[in-house]
Amino acid sequence: MQRDPPTGKITIVDIARAAGVSIKTVSRVINQEEGVGDETRARVLEIVTTMGYRPNVSARSLSSRRSYLIGVIFMRVGAYHYVGEVQVGAMRACRRAGYHLVVEQVLPPEAVGGVQGFAEGLRDARFDGVVLTPPTCDDPEVLAAVETAGLPYVRIAPHREFERSPYVFMDDRKAAREQTLRLWNMGHRRIAFIDGPADHGSATRRRQGYIEALRDRGVEPRPEWIAKGEFLSLSGFDATERLLALPERPTAIFAANDEMAVGALAAAAKHGLSVPRDLSVVGFDDTPTAEAAWPRLTTVHQPTAEMAEAAVEMLIDGFGDERLRARVAARQLDYSLVQRDSAAPPLA
């Protein structure tokens, strides 16, 4: 056998010639289609391996109108641990199926381009499908752009219009309810909540769970117990300062995410309060920060990577199906409570 140039210029024609078959047969083998004799298939496969043949994806895309590219859309790429987890999970699913992951960002409306630029980007990015993350997955303009581009999409943890597309989710509300009840059952009666941004559905659902738990116990949560936050650590710090300034201090603080909980820890330190002795603090998400905080943060584990992985799977599985968007599909993943060191019964 002649040595081929090392630059990987081996094409389907070379394989066909070496195997003594037509390129169509090679194509069938490559794509694991039926209708090839076992012997032929084995022979072609061996030649493919020895010659190190990899199909040219552009050619494949051009004729099949598939790109083997999945886009994952974020609002902010720089800020959250969340982004990394989503990418890890999505890449796992992509890799299994021979797809690659392209990261896209919807710039905020005030930025040059904004949703408009995003929509244009979608058109020449030739995705086979996209995964939408919160809060982008609830943005009407973004949804419109994706649908106009005719792209199949799956949403992660959407907050509205559940029939509009397949999605992956976990029960934030129920988890937050359990988290709150855990504090209640420890003996806490003045439990405060640090809320997230209004455009994040998860923040809303978690707040609902918190309120629901208190009402279940016959307590109407006071408005001043719910402090505004922005999912960022600094906002948790500020919110906690406000909560600690209340005439009747809460004995426990439930932050809608771990970042804010860490901010709450810092505020407690500033005020000379020992956690969990003087104040219990719990978070939500179970990011590495939660494990690294001191004291280690009691929180709720959100299976972020797994949710992204499931989303990509649903997307890819649906490619064969014309009616992907019609088939209202949803996959629910489980959370779990993570007991660590930042919550304890109140002193008095």
DSSP element (H, E) containing 153: strand 153-156
293 lies in the site for a second copy, by CB under 8 A = yes
Q: Which of 31, 228, 288, 332 contacts a second copy by CB under 8 A?
A: 288
* Helix or strand (DSSP H, E) at 226: strand 226-227
- Residues 156 and 310: their CA atoms lie apart, in Å, by 9
Q: Is 223 one of the binding residues for DNA (CB under 7 A)?
A: no
Give dist(CA 333, CA 311) in Å, integer: 11
Beta carbon of residue 321, minimum distance to DNA (angstroms, whole number)? 15
Which of 3, 32, 34, 112 binds DNA (CB under 7 A)? It is: 34
**Residues facing residue 322 across a β-bridge:** none
Both tokens assigned to 143: 């949804």
Per-residue exposure over 268-279, b if at least 16 CB sit within 10 Å of its own CB, e if not = beeeebebbeeb
Q: Which of 11, 40, 61, 208 is close enough to bind a second copy by CB under 8 A?
A: 61
Distance (Å, whole) CA 201 – CA 169: 11
By the rule CB under 7 A, 42 interacts with DNA: no
**Under rule CB under 7 A, which residues in 44-83 are in contact with DNA?**
53, 55-56, 59-60, 62-64, 66
323 binds DNA (CB under 7 A): no
Q: Is 13 in the site for DNA (CB under 7 A)?
A: yes
| Residue given tokens 């769970």 in the structure block | 209
- How is residue 227 written in tokens? 């402090």
Q: Are the beta carbons of 113 and 146 closer than 8 angstroms? A: no
Does 278 engage in binding with a second copy (CB under 8 A)? no
Q: How far is the CB of 291 from a second copy (least distance, A)?
A: 7
25 or 105: whose CB is closer to a second copy? 105
x-marked contacts with a second copy along 205-234 as a string, rule CB under 8 A: ---------------------------xxx
What is the binding site for DNA (CB under 7 A)? 9, 11-13, 21-25, 27-28, 30-31, 34-41, 53, 55-56, 59-60, 62-64, 66
